[in-house]
Amino acid sequence: MLFEGQTIKVDAQDGGIAELRFERCNEAVNKLDALTFGELRRAIDAIKATPAIKGILITSAKDNFIVGADIFEFTRLFTQPEPDIAAFVAANSEIITALGDLPVPTVAAINGLALGGGLEVALAADYRVLSNNAKIGFPEITLGLFPGYGGTVRCRAWPVWRQAPNGLFRARSKALTRLFSQAPLMPLLGRISCALPLSPFWRRRSRANPIGKPSAPA
């Protein structure tokens, strides 16, 4: 175990691959809050300090990837002066950027929901793989909030998708819609690298009891 926190774990796998796994203890979903961002920064530091790592697989041990930010933290944050809010967003954005700047290839394996900041984490990876139950998007725009951690820039290089009014992404063509309904293993243009069926891989990431139970390496 290269790093173990309350929300994130980093395991060394075979072949120099490390699994950075979002696995929030005692809760059914992963979310991005101050605790998660702090642990993500420490996990990145642990990876950078391990020269033997040749690649990173970013996964979730829950039924969903990351459902987004903790809106209850926003309630407190929005009472702060504007410079404090800007500093908060900038600090978290630097952590997401540090994930994208890792000197080894990174792959985000997206299952279930990857919304808001959760999608921004996936966009920071070099490649993305989706299960056929994945749903991705920035639904916060319906509340007048814009993605603050680089998502507005990174998703512009995503030519095969358009954003629907509810903030979720839809394929620009019927062919791509069929592709994701059938989810064969094949490459796609844009920021989605490939789609996979809901196979035993994804089920290993989501255990029967997802709350508070650490998952074993795949």
CATH number, domain containing residue 95:
3.90.226.10
pLDDT over threshold 90, residue 104? yes
In the residue annotation, 23 being an active-site residue is answered as no
- Out of 120, 122, 134, 137, pick the active-site residue: 120
Q: Confidence band (pLDDT; 50, 70, 90) for 75?
A: confident
30 and 48 Cβ atoms separated by less than 8 Å: no
5 and 45 Cβ atoms separated by less than 8 Å: no
In the residue annotation, 212 being an active-site residue is answered as no
Whether 174 maps to a domain, the answer reads yes
Whether 125 maps to a domain, the answer reads yes
Percent over 90 (pLDDT), the chain: 45
- Out of 18, 124, 140, 171, pick the active-site residue: 140
CA angle 40, 17, 100 (to 5 degrees): 40
pLDDT over threshold 80, residue 172? no
pTM (predicted TM-score): 0.76
In the residue annotation, 19 being an active-site residue is answered as no
Supply the pLDDT for residue 77.
87
Average pLDDT over residues 41-51: 97
CA distance 20 to 47: 9
pLDDT over threshold 60, residue 181? no
Whether 210 maps to a domain, the answer reads no
Whether 215 maps to a domain, the answer reads no
- Out of 117, 118, 151, 167, pick the active-site residue: 117
Residue of 134 and 209 predicted with greater confidence: 134
Residue of 87 and 76 predicted with greater confidence: 87
Q: What is the mean pLDDT of the chain?
A: 77
Q: At what angle do helices 117-124 and 82-100 cross, to 10 degrees?
A: 40
CA distance 66 to 130: 13
Whether 211 maps to a domain, the answer reads no
In the residue annotation, 124 being an active-site residue is answered as no
Whether 118 maps to a domain, the answer reads yes
Domain extent, residue 104, equals: 3-205
Which residue carries 């420490």 as its tokens?
Answer: 42
- Out of 69, 114, 122, 195, pick the active-site residue: 69
Supply the pLDDT for residue 58.
95
Domain count, the chain: 1
